Amino acid sequence: MLQFENHYAGRLNSGLEHQLTPDHWAAHPLPPPPSYLWAPERKQVLECTMISLFLVLAIGSCLTNSLVPEKEKDPKYWRDQAQQTLKNALRLQTLNTNVAKNVIMFLGDGMGVSTVTAARILKGQLHHKPGEETRLEMDKFPYVALSKTYNTNAQVPDSAGTATAYLCGVKANEGTVGVSAATQRTQCNTTQGNEVTSILRWAKDAGKSVGIVTTTRVNHATPSAAYAHSADRDWYSDNEMPPEALIQGCKDIAYQLMHNIRDIEVIMGGGRKYMFPKNRTDVEYEMDEKARGTRLDGLNLIDVWKSFKPRHKHSHYIWNRTELLALDPHTVDYLLGLFEPGDMQYELNRNNVTDPSLSEMVEMAIRILIKNPKGFFLLVEGGRIDHGHHEGKAKQALHEAVEMDRAIEQAGSMTSVEDTLTVVTADHSHVFTFGGYTPRGNSIFGLAPMVSDTDKKPFTAILYGNGPGYKVVGGERENVSMVDYAHDNYQAQSAVPLRHETHGGEDVAIFARGPMAHLLHGVHEQNYIPHVMAYAACIGANRDHCASASSSGSPSPGPLLLLLALLPLGILF
């Protein structure tokens, strides 16, 4: 009897819309029940079961139909939509080959394709829509490519080696920043002579203003590759460095932030404690020992930062949102904003008095940088997408992704596609997924419309391949209906128990718009990205096309020069 019921229940609860239509059931009738089920003592049970099952079928059919927006039932809706998309695509035949005065790079740390899709649905549901049909700002970018994320010594990469690739144009070893693959992690004596510079440096050398905005520590893996050269991403301050590295002369990343490129116009994020002497009380968390200064060399790097700024320039160090919003960008030449001792708070946990949002930081950064007539380069990292996933907290991760999309929209409203190249990508993915045949409009944090056909327990649509969400209760998988799976800090179930969920190794998306965005067009090695940005902006080593364009009076490099310039580098194929 149980086997028979399960067969019916599996068919009725599969969540597949086509299985709830009369045509499907006519073509694929349920098999007759075994004869033993017709015994008199079982007949009543069977009749009740059949009634309840077909009641579910009827209700399911109604629900399925009600989930479809009325306009989507008309084929004309889909045909008109496709034709408009086609018209938009045909317009792209006229390439934007202008020189990019400005370049903005948005890096969603850990923002794999599954995260992008789930964030899209969440964005729509936050606006009381089903979600699937919603468009993220990055979805509106006309050019999309894929990035191969592996490190030189790792199939599944980390954020340091990948940052070196998409900022410095050179693939590197896992755990190292701003150095080539000749540098071995933790080995200070392999650093010298193997340093590689970033597109931020190239932009600064060309006279552009530059900025870094992140929701992590400003000396974390992603931003540090823009200015530092370190054999270990974890050398945040000298307190985290081994004695032999200090003896050999290596400098911590916070120190390098203040010394390597001294005139970075905008630096915003977390990481306050790495700038102050050991045990220095934090301005915001006076009683928290973990928030105290970490530096063993006794330096106050905020004072160092101030000392490097010309007296006739206006430099501002701030530590809270109130101070940020009070600034007049017209009177700010240099801005250092450190809003937390470590990483910034998750967007869902953010204090609206002390912590600015990513979009607020981006707005202020652009208002300051855009004053330079030569243009600017801005690196923006939505860094805590990655942290949410590592902790198995999908809700935190996805809200971080939605906030980064708001920042992309903010930047787009302040710049023009005619002179600003914007690139959105990720450093790597995560073992994050969602599925289970969920119906249209199902809460992205909700349950699948069925129970497991193995352990008979419900499961959430969102799951991880590994991580801290692996839980066994009474020798069995935890019953998620007994917990608050919609909680901000709920840890989604995982297949393999780990204290921290891992990165994924698949390709990630690159979204691009603006001058030369069409050069991001297929499947690329990750280190190709900064070469495109530099080419578009006429900075870095590959600038012959810019001189030719200038002498001819043309504002753009042109397709032929583009081809000639890239062929010797072997990066077109």
Annotated binding site for Zn(2+): 109, 386, 390, 427-428, 503
Residues contacting residue 146 through CB under 8 Å, at least 6 positions apart: 507, 508, 509, 510, 522, 523, 524
Alpha-carbon torsion, ordered 43, 49, 51, 54, to 10 deg = -140
Query: For the packed helices 528-537 and 559-566, what is the interaxial angle rounded to 10 degrees?
Result: 140
Instruction: Tell me how far apart the alpha carbons of residues 276 and 273 are, in angstroms, rounded to a whole number.
Output: 6
Q: Under 8 Å CB-to-CB from 82, ≥6 apart: which residues?
A: none
- DSSP for 364-386? HHHHHHTT-TT-EEEEEEETHHH
Closest CA to 403 of 268, 271, 266, 215: 215
Where in 16-132 does DSSP place strands (E)? 102-108
Rg of the Cα atoms in the chain: 27
The rounded distance, in Å, linking the Cα atoms of 316 and 337 is 8
Tell which residue, 168, 132, 172, has the closest CA to residue 150.
172
| Binding-site annotation: residue ranges | 109, 220, 222, 381, 386, 390, 427-428, 503
- From residue 19, alpha-carbon distances to 12, 28, 30, 60, 64 in Å are 8, 9, 12, 10, 10
Contact 72, 387 (CB under 8 A): no
Query: Would you say 501 and 430 are in contact if contact means Cβ atoms under 8 Å apart?
Result: yes
Strands (E), 271-398: 315-318, 334-338, 376-382
Strand positions, DSSP E, 131-176: 143-148
Relative to beta strand 376-382, strand 334-338 is: unpaired
Has 35 been annotated as catalytic? no
Residues 6 or more apart whose Cβ sits within 8 Å of residue 43 = none
- The active-site residue, picked from 159, 180, 198, 359, is 159
Which two structure tokens, joined as six digits, stand for 303? 């004072």
Sign of torsion, CA 484 490 493 496? negative
109 and 222 in contact (C-beta within 8 Å)?
yes
Q: Which residues does the annotation place in the binding site for Mg(2+)?
A: 109, 220, 222, 381
Quote the CA–CA distance of 130 and 134 in Å, as a whole number: 8
Beta strand 420-426 pairing with 429-430: unpaired
Strand order from edge to edge, sheet including 432-434: 432-434, 462-467, 494-497
Residues tagged active-site: 159
